[in-house]
Amino acid sequence: MLLVTLLAVVAVAGATPAVPRAATAMYNPDLFQGDIKGIAGQEPGKERAAILGEQYLWPGGVVPYVFGNSVNSYERSLIISAMDDFHARTCIRFVERTSQSNYIEIVSNDSGCWSYVGTIGGKQRVSLDSNGCMYKGTVIHELMHAIGFYHEHCRNDRDSYVTIHYENVQAGMESQFNKDTYWQYVGEGYNYESIMHYGTYAFSVQWGVAKTIVPTDPNVILTEAYDKLQMAQSDANQINNLYRNQCSF
């Protein structure tokens, strides 16, 4: 009888899916909303989930970049492919840095996937850890942070579209789901398919079992950024709307 009980416990434990590294790399418990290192114009610890003002956008929609020495040739090709999604659908242009004083440095040897939001001045890092972040969708997601965007599931109007099950959220991580209080509307409604939307088990106490983000529409299945190959059209539209005074097509 004891043996049967032990086998049953082992079977249940084995049935719980492991958290994918691609997810844990984006759900950093010590970062704002999981993958935001800092925000232009805001003190650490006092961040407000809002799309930034004009003074924190990249002038002309041009984002100079450099690759850290850790980024190999395959990773460079993947990142450039993600940048091409911006080039094909928005007015944003990522250009190799020459002498620009404000630019992003993309590295692959730091821990996790994260970015600053908006231009903070000088060199700012975008971390795309080789172990978990090298997916085109993840790269697009972090680059969207860098040009000034937050998460879709933290929009002020999100309660009409998703329910956050705080009872399933890891203890101390509840603030990762705080709604935007000061947000700038940039012409698009809530979109489950946004590349800025987290998946069903973000910060869950039991990945694959205890859901934390549940759509109010029962027909919607949320997917993680790393499972997407391009930004949604609404993402592209919002970028163009936000940068309408900065760049042209």
Is the pLDDT reported for residue 49 higher than 70? no
Q: Is residue 16 part of a domain?
A: no
Provide the 8-state DSSP code for 10. Answer: H
Is the pLDDT reported for residue 3 higher than 50? no
Query: Which domain CATH number covers 209?
Result: 3.40.390.10
Region of poorest pLDDT, from 18-22, 58-62, 210-214? 18-22
Under the banding of pLDDT at 50, 70 and 90, the label for residue 30 is confident
Q: What is the extent of the structural domain holding 155?
A: 21-183+190-243
Q: Is residue 233 part of a domain?
A: yes
pLDDT mean across residues, the chain: 87
Rg (CA), the chain: 19
Provide the 8-state DSSP code for 55. Answer: G
Long-range interactions of 26-32: CB distance < 8 A, separation 24+: 26/112, 26/113, 26/132, 26/133, 26/138, 26/141, 26/198, 26/224, 26/225, 26/226, 27/176, 27/202, 27/203, 28/111, 28/112, 28/113, 28/114, 29/170, 29/172, 29/173, 29/203, 31/112, 31/114
Residue with the larger pLDDT of the pair 48 and 152: 152
Q: Is residue 7 part of a domain?
A: no
Q: Is residue 9 part of a domain?
A: no
Catalytic residue among 142, 167, 174, 193: 142
State the pairing for strand pair 123-128/103-107.
parallel
Query: Which pLDDT does position 82 carry in this prediction?
Result: 98
Under the banding of pLDDT at 50, 70 and 90, the label for residue 42 is low
Q: Is residue 57 part of a domain?
A: yes
**223-245 confidence digits (pLDDT tens):** 999 999 999 999 999 999 899 88
Residue with the larger pLDDT of the pair 47 and 79: 79
Query: Which pLDDT does position 15 carry in this prediction?
Result: 58
Question: What is the tally of structural domains in the chain?
Answer: 1
Under the banding of pLDDT at 50, 70 and 90, the label for residue 177 is very high
Q: Is residue 109 part of a domain?
A: yes
Binding residues for Zn(2+): 141, 145, 151
Query: Which pLDDT does position 194 carry in this prediction?
Result: 96
**90-125 confidence digits (pLDDT tens):** 999 999 999 999 999 999 999 999 999 899 899 999
Query: Which pLDDT does position 41 carry in this prediction?
Result: 63
Query: Which pLDDT does position 16 carry in this prediction?
Result: 66
User: Does 142 participate in catalysis according to the annotation?
Assistant: yes
Q: Is residue 48 part of a domain?
A: yes
**Three-state SS for 165?**
coil
Q: Is residue 140 part of a domain?
A: yes
